[in-house]
Structure 1
Amino acid sequence: MPETFKTSDGLSLAYDVQGKGPALLCLAGLTRNMDDFEPVVAHFANRATIIRVDSRGRGASEYDPNVLNYTLPQEGADALTLLDHLGLDRAAILGTSRGGLIAMVLAISAKHRLSGVLLNDIGPEMDPRGLSHIMDYLGRRPAYRSFEDAADKLPRALGDQFRNVSRDQWLSYARRIWTEGEERLELRYDPKLREAIEAQSVTGAVPDLWPLFEALDGLPLALLRGENSTLLPRACMDKMCARRPDMICAEVKDRGHVPFLDEPESLDVIARFLTRLPH
């Protein structure tokens, strides 16, 4: 069972710590939770202290009564509060999608707390088509009746991005992101996240995120991109690798947004990244 800690504004957030070695804080995507990092625990708990957390409004953590607190800076502050709670001066971050954006924000505001960053299918440029796809489902209940129903239908829904995925893998995927209700699957996050994202994008202006990426200068850095990603453009990955030739980079075959982190390419990048962290 996850443990909990209190944020500066009194919310109870769930976290889990397993393993030994350098601290690796795993931050999930916008609608996701700590279960996405089960493969990281399974493969690397003997090489790193794997810290997983459910951001406010996700998974087993409390929902925020003020949806305007669902922001990157606030979620970054929550991550630092967790490090303080655990008595850690620094940690590396494995950030999936939004989790990677949080890592880049922290590189601006609290770089001294970071010992490295691994970005999972996210960068300083995002494909508008991918952002539009996120808004298509954000805050809306899935249509699947059960985990088994989802496992049967997900290949048709996501098969263009995710190929060569077994039914057991789809079943695990469904169990990580939804929960079973009386009649159909339910969200494992606050549906009011949609209101928060709409409020933050009301101007329609897309900020320049390259300064956040540049702030990672001097830190061990790695990048994973799903071969079929709808969010991280291939051209952006190329620019990131050119600007940081020391960055560990890999594309994950047959995966979209986001890789599951159990693929050979993902495991290789995580393993190489861990060797670069201070011990």
Structure 2
Amino acid sequence: MRKAFLAEDGTRLAYRDEGAGLPVLALAGMTRDGRDFEYLACHLPADIRLIRLDSRGRGASAWADWHSYTVAQEARDALALLDHLGLDRVAVVGTSRGGLLGMVMAAFAKARLTGLCLVDCGPVLERAGLQRIGDYVGVVPPVATLEQAADRLAASPGFLKVPTERWAEEAARRYVQLEGRLGLPYDPALRQSFDAALAAPTADAWPLFDACAGLPLALIRAANSDVLSAEAATGMARRRPDLIRVDVPDRGHVPFLDEPQSLRTIAAWLDAVRAFAASQPAATAP
């Protein structure tokens, strides 16, 4: 069941908050929402409190001025959710853009984190992969039904050995069935924000990655990713020898997170997060 709160600019943001125990905040990709983590949710141990945010303009959250669809603003929204829930610290699982939000949070509010798991995301992203994503942001596929959309998704680059029913589930998450046509479960104006970001000079994001120093850190990379290269992942591991890393076979951008390799990596990372959280001093009352 979704709940909601108001961001600093009054935008209504939706989230799910399920379970009890160690809080884990899940942040989805550019055009996605908290439903992306349903595959993972059913595999998490009983001591995990999973919080899934629909970033502004996505899922059940309200649409906003497209200029506010930025990594910086969405990271502030995530921190505002922690304040709303009265949480001092959380571990973050971030897929694609969600991972960028996690790195920004580590850079500017590190004390609020107990760990970060990056899913097919890092400080260096391949322009060809980003341009491919740009080809579909804000674009409704030229088909009339979710079944037809599922058939198109089955040809997603880099994905192999995916059951047909999984693409049907994905179609229902990525599109909305309307009368005789499909719609999008997000604000089409995200396209304007994406285009503006892609046209801007490329910033050095390694300082954001380095800001994660001391936090339990994991990387789940799709072996066939066109967004995060093997070279970039190796560079991340070189800077963080303790990085818990896996390349998930037969997956493109992004893995579903219920693959055995993904689940083992998340389990190892959660063990590290528990140990880290237990070592931190308790927050003091104001």
5+ long unaligned stretches in structure 2: 279-286
Answer yes or no: is 1:122 the counterpart of 2:121: yes
Q: Could you say which residue in structure 2 is the equivalent of 1:161?
A: 158
Between the aligned partners of 1:72 and 1:5, the Cα distance in structure 2 is: 19
Q: Could you say which residue in structure 1 is the equivalent of 2:259?
A: 263
Q: Could you say which residue in structure 1 is the equivalent of 2:109?
A: 110
Pairwise CA distance, 1:153? 2.9
Q: Could you say which residue in structure 1 is the equivalent of 2:283?
A: none
Q: TM-score, normalised by structure 1?
A: 0.96
Q: Could you say which residue in structure 2 is the equivalent of 1:82?
A: 81
Pairwise CA distance, 1:40? 2.1
Task: Name the SS of the counterpart of 1:276 in structure 2.
Answer: helix
Find runs of 4+ consecutive structure 1 residues off by over 6 angstroms. Answer: none
Pairwise CA distance, 1:149? 1.6
Task: Name the SS of the counterpart of 2:62 in structure 1.
Answer: coil
Q: Could you say which residue in structure 1 is the equivalent of 2:180?
A: 183
Can you list the C-alpha shifts for 1:4-46, whole angstroms capped at 9, x where unaligned?
1111111111100111221100000000010000022111151
Q: Could you say which residue in structure 2 is the equivalent of 1:234?
A: 230
Task: Name the SS of the counterpart of 1:43 in structure 2.
Answer: coil
Between the aligned partners of 2:228 and 2:19, the Cα distance in structure 1 is: 31
Question: Which 10-residue stretch deviates more, 193-202 or 134-143?
Answer: 193-202
Q: Could you say which residue in structure 1 is the equivalent of 2:221?
A: 225
**Aligned partner of 1:49: which letter?**
R
Between the aligned partners of 1:154 and 1:52, the Cα distance in structure 2 is: 24
Q: Could you say which residue in structure 1 is the equivalent of 2:138?
A: 139
Can you list the C-alpha shifts for 1:222-262, whole angstroms capped at 9, x where unaligned?
00000110100110001111111111000111000000111
Between the aligned partners of 2:16 and 2:241, the Cα distance in structure 1 is: 34
**Aligned partner of 2:165: which letter?**
D
CA contact (8 A) 1:7 1:13 kept: yes
Task: Name the SS of the counterpart of 1:222 in structure 2.
Answer: strand
**Aligned partner of 1:170: which letter?**
W
Give the alignment of 1:25-40 within 5 angstroms: 25-40=25-40
Give the alignment of 1:190-209 within 5 angstroms: 190-203=187-200, 205-209=201-205
**Aligned partner of 2:81: which letter?**
L
Task: Name the SS of the counterpart of 2:209 in structure 1.
Answer: helix
Q: TM-score, normalised by structure 2?
A: 0.93
Q: Could you say which residue in structure 2 is the equivalent of 1:151?
A: 150
Between the aligned partners of 1:174 and 1:207, the Cα distance in structure 2 is: 33
Pairwise CA distance, 1:199? 2.5
Between the aligned partners of 1:57 and 1:81, the Cα distance in structure 2 is: 16
Percent identity of paired positions between Structure 1 and Structure 2: 48
Q: Which of 245, 268, 272 is equivalent to 2:268?
A: 272
CA contact (8 A) 1:95 1:103 kept: yes
Between the aligned partners of 1:250 and 1:98, the Cα distance in structure 2 is: 19
Q: Could you say which residue in structure 2 is the equivalent of 1:95?
A: 94
CA contact (8 A) 1:18 1:41 kept: no
CA separation of 1:86 and 1:45: change in aligned 2, threshold 3 A: farther
CA separation of 1:245 and 1:164: change in aligned 2, threshold 3 A: same
Answer yes or no: is 1:215 the counterpart of 2:214: no
Task: Name the SS of the counterpart of 2:25 in structure 1.
Answer: strand
Give the alignment of 1:43-62 within 5 angstroms: 43-44=43-44, 46-62=46-62
Task: Name the SS of the counterpart of 1:105 in structure 2.
Answer: helix
Between the aligned partners of 1:39 and 1:263, the Cα distance in structure 2 is: 9
